[in-house]
């Protein structure tokens, strides 16, 4: 399923694609949109705290995904969705995501600066 975004998303799209191009991306077929991903990521932020939105669960240990490689994020979310990865929380999260959601979320998180390592 290939989807081309309209010109109005051009700037965000260019930003979203930059890391992929630099890495010779083999990511899935949907083109991720950083701005849409930012909105979708609202539900992820409580666990995967990102700098502007403090982690709501300080004692809940979750992997840091801000600044992670875009293709890695896409692959991880596919793996939760199709059952290759079996963590119940993330399987539940990923099961409601469409291909486009996954692409947008991956573009957004990949565009973030990695978090500072305050909690080892």
Least Cβ distance, residue 28 to ligand HEC (angstroms) = 14
Read off φ and ψ for residue 3, nearest 5 degrees. Answer: -135, 125
Which residue's CB is nearer to ligand HEC, number 11 or number 95?
Answer: 95
Q: Which residue is nearest to ligand HEC (CB)?
A: 44
Nearer to ligand HEC, 13 or 41 (CB): 41
Alpha carbons 69 and 56: distance in angstroms, whole number = 24
8 Å CB contact between 37 and 108: yes
Where on the chain is the footprint of ligand HEC (CB under 6 A)?
A: 43-44, 46-48, 62-63, 65, 73, 76-77, 85, 87, 89-90, 93, 105
Q: Are 2 and 30 in contact (CB under 8 A)?
A: yes
């Amino acid at each position: 399923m290939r989807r081309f975004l309209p010109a109005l998303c051009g700037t965000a799209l260019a930003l979203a694609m930059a890391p992929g191009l630099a890495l010779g991306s083999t990511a899935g077929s949907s083109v991720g949109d950083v701005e849409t991903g930012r909105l979708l990521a609202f539900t992820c932020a409580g666990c995967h705290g990102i700098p502007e939105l403090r982690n709501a669960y300080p004692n809940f240990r979750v992997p840091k995904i801000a600044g992670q490689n875009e293709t890695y994020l896409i692959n991880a979310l596919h793996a939760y969705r199709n059952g290759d990865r079996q963590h119940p929380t993330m399987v539940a999260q990923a099961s409601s995501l469409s291909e486009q959601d996954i692409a947008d979320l991956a573009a957004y998180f990949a565009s973030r600066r990695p978090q500072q390592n305050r909690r080892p």
